[in-house]
Amino acid sequence: MAVEPSTRGGLLGWIEDRIGLEALRHVVEAKTVPVHRHGAWYYFGGMTLFFFLVQVFTGILLMLYYRPSSQEAYESVQFLVTQVPFGWLVRSIHSWSANLMIAAAFVHLFSVFFLKAYRAPRELTWLSGFALFGLAMGFGFSGYLLPWNKLAYFATRVGTDIAGALPLVGAELVRFLRGGDHVTGGTLSRFYGWHVAILPALATSMLALHLLLVQRHGMSVPPSVELEPASARRTMRFVPDFLLRDLFGWTLALGVLAALAALFPWELGEKADAFAPAPADIRPEWYFMFMFQTLKFVPGGELLGIENEAWVILLFGAAGAGAFLVPFLDRRVVERGGSPLVSAIGGAALTFIVVLTAIGYHAWWPVGTAAVLILGPWVAGRSMAGARGERS
């Protein structure tokens, strides 16, 4: 089939004849974004993407100096932060952006959940987004060991020991994670391979699918807005209206990231030593803290021949599977216009995560009380709105 040549001359005409940007421009111009009182939550998806891009860029710079072996890993990072111009800043930005990316993804995930954006036909959008959240957690876990410092070494040993509590597959899972029976240089090489090759490949593929699905189905609106007559709904153009707002959010995120990285440089600590005593207060990164703190509360012993710790891990796995499959478990949300019970369960889970994380950081009273006072009425209001939508 012959292709009509472009009427434009010069470089733009040459590119148009070979790529066909005109069709893409029409798609972009036609794309709109819903406008409603919950629209601020839309921007956390783009902010998560921004922090991911920062991770990619700074990670490439760090790879130029990092050496993934137990004999040289710590020294290579030490050389980077002390001898390479602005090396400390690049590493600090990489570490802070990893935490901010997971925080933004966490907010985005729960906002999508409470606004019921997983309902048909966006089931695959939710599944791909949930998988991306899991991959982000995997990035955090695999990257934590790479500096090969004392805290990371013992935290990884404790974290992989927890996996060993699972019945039947625990021992094999530990050997798979560590590359042997103990945390060694082989574990470091294995984590490095996951962190810079396997997980990025999976994340890039899943991100492309997720963005394609968002483009295909557009941005969802809450059930309460969907019940309004079509004449009452408002939209804005994606370009330039929403895009400029999104870029403004990226600018704010960059400012926060730069301030944190410059004012609170990420510490390196002491080099890992397998024969040294473990630090007194070992704890994982904040996004694993609620699970770690829950396991600390579990008494020793067995139930039905399975360790109590293993039961808790299995319950967390079941909860994660339920959250992953929520579009198929909450099928009637489209008919009812809401699902108060599912919202209440999600609110309870969110409160549990915040409170247990606060307890882990010895900040129970200020953070826990704020979580109850803020999340409780908000979830109750969402549940009531869903119930009103169901009755209507």
Q: Looking at residues 13-21, what average pLDDT do you find?
A: 77
Q: Any bridge partners for residue 33, and if so which?
A: 236
Q: pLDDT tens digits for 77-120?
A: 999 999 999 999 999 999 999 999 999 999 999 999 999 999 98
Confidence of residue 376 (pLDDT cuts 50, 70, 90): low
User: Class of the 20-267 domain?
Assistant: mainly alpha
Name the token pair of 350.
């969110």
Residue among 255, 187, 205 nearest 50 (CA) = 255
Contact 99, 55 (CB under 8 A): no
What pLDDT is stored for residue 264 in this prediction? 95
Residue among 95, 117, 28 nearest 326 (CA) = 117
Confidence of residue 373 (pLDDT cuts 50, 70, 90): low
What pLDDT is stored for residue 381 in this prediction? 55
| Number of Cβ within a 10 Å radius of residue 340 | 19
Q: Report which residue type is found at 4.
A: E
Q: Rounded CA gap, 367 and 318, in Å?
A: 27
Lowest mean pLDDT among 40-44, 121-125, 161-165: 161-165
Lowest mean pLDDT among 81-90, 162-171, 339-348: 162-171
What pLDDT is stored for residue 310 in this prediction? 84
| Whether pLDDT at 160 is above 50 | yes
What pLDDT is stored for residue 338 in this prediction? 75
Q: Looking at residues 63-74, what average pLDDT do you find?
A: 95
Confidence of residue 387 (pLDDT cuts 50, 70, 90): very low
Confidence of residue 389 (pLDDT cuts 50, 70, 90): very low
| Whether pLDDT at 23 is above 60 | yes
Q: Rounded CA gap, 124 and 206, in Å?
A: 11
| Whether pLDDT at 334 is above 90 | no
Q: Any bridge partners for residue 306, and if so which?
A: 303
pTM of the model: 0.88
Contact 174, 161 (CB under 8 A): yes
Q: pLDDT tens digits for 245-304?
A: 999 999 999 999 999 999 999 999 899 988 888 887 778 889 999 998 998 888 877 777
Contact 314, 334 (CB under 8 A): no
Q: pLDDT tens digits for 54-66?
A: 999 999 999 999 9
Name the token pair of 158.
């404790």
What sign results for the dihedral spanned by CA atoms 184, 185, 189, 195?
positive
Lowest mean pLDDT among 8-12, 118-122, 249-253, 328-332: 8-12
What pLDDT is stored for residue 382 in this prediction? 53
DSSP state of 237: E
| Number of Cβ within a 10 Å radius of residue 335 | 8
Query: What's the mean pLDDT when you consider all of the chain?
Result: 86
Q: Regarding predicted confidence, which is higher, 126 or 220?
A: 126
Confidence of residue 161 (pLDDT cuts 50, 70, 90): confident
Q: What are phi and psi of 206, to 5 degrees?
A: -70, -35
**Beta strands at 302-303 and 306-307: parallel, antiparallel or unpaired:** antiparallel
Residue listed under structure tokens 């984590």: 191
Q: Regarding predicted confidence, which is higher, 191 or 229?
A: 191
| Whether pLDDT at 392 is above 50 | no
| Whether pLDDT at 40 is above 60 | yes
Q: pLDDT tens digits for 195-229?
A: 999 999 999 999 999 999 999 998 888 887 777 77
What pLDDT is stored for residue 339 in this prediction? 83
C-alpha distances in Å from residue 252, one per residue of 52, 103, 104, 257, 308:
15, 15, 13, 9, 45
Q: Any bridge partners for residue 303, and if so which?
A: 306
| Whether pLDDT at 340 is above 90 | no
In the chain, what are the domain boundaries?
20-267, 332-392
What pLDDT is stored for residue 390 in this prediction? 45
What pLDDT is stored for residue 112 in this prediction? 94
